A and B are shown apart, each in its own frame.
Chain A
């Protein structure tokens, strides 16, 4: 029972892929796409590409705020 998946085609995967990669699909829909990706090389490659691009995008810009801003905010809140 637990291993049954609704067969979905590449078009359906393409429509939901971004929500899938963002973790925004429910369990059943996620499992359907997981299953499809195990058997479709093109969709798997597409998903990996999008995932990798998102990971690279997460590294944009500074990871930390400037130390001076942190000091400024601490002083600001002290004055409240």
Chain B
């Protein structure tokens, strides 16, 4: 009798735990999918990644020491699942290696390219440029980043994570997040600029070609 009661109580506790986990996962599904989509850049791959991460998170739930840290914890499971996917596909993992893009180039600033301080007050080339940008231009610019910058940009800029939260999720130092956010923005702006020039969205007026 005692055994039956204990089993029933264990079953009820397990059911509660599962329901709580399910509620939290469903709360975070949109964010998990958005991050997965920007990392994989394919809808079906993103769905697979999220589903696999959720299964892994359930299996590793005991490793979550602080319940209030569920959000960064499950995002870190997603990131680690993505790392495993890359390894499984035999791809060189670039999520943790930014060397390719650093290249010693100075940071690029769209504002510096567009701003003209001596224009009349009603003229605003920066705003004109932003008004012409489409969502797909921005998406293309984010997707053009190598994974190591993209992961930080997606977490901080798109999902609004703090630097500390992004550092915890990616298991990298906060100083690295700070420098990658800055560099990632710069590379994103350069990609936007190049696309704007190629697509004729912006035509050169006063900027110096040699500065590119």
Enumerate chain A interface residues (CB-CB to B < 8 A). 18-19, 22-24, 42, 45-46, 49-50, 52-54, 56-66, 68-70, 72-74, 76-78, 80
Contacts and interface: CB of A to CB of B under 8 A. Distances in A.
B29 A22 contact: no
B160 to A, nearest CB: 7
Given A19-B178, A57-B158, A61-B38, A73 B26 contact: yes
A24 to B, nearest CB: 5
Interface residues of B, number: 44
Interface stretch (B51-59, B80-88, B98-106): B51-59
B19 to A, nearest CB: 9
Interface in B42-83: 43, 47, 50-51, 54-55, 58
A71 to B, nearest CB: 10
A80 B189 CA distance: 44
A68 B188 CA distance: 32
A45 to B, nearest CB: 7
Nearest to A48: B126
A62 B36 CA distance: 12
B139 interface: yes
B185 A18 contact: yes
Contacts of A78: 18, 22
Contacts of A64: 30, 33
Given A65-B50, A66-B47, A46 B33 contact: no
B212 to A, nearest CB: 19
Contact of A77 (B43, B54, B117, B126): B54
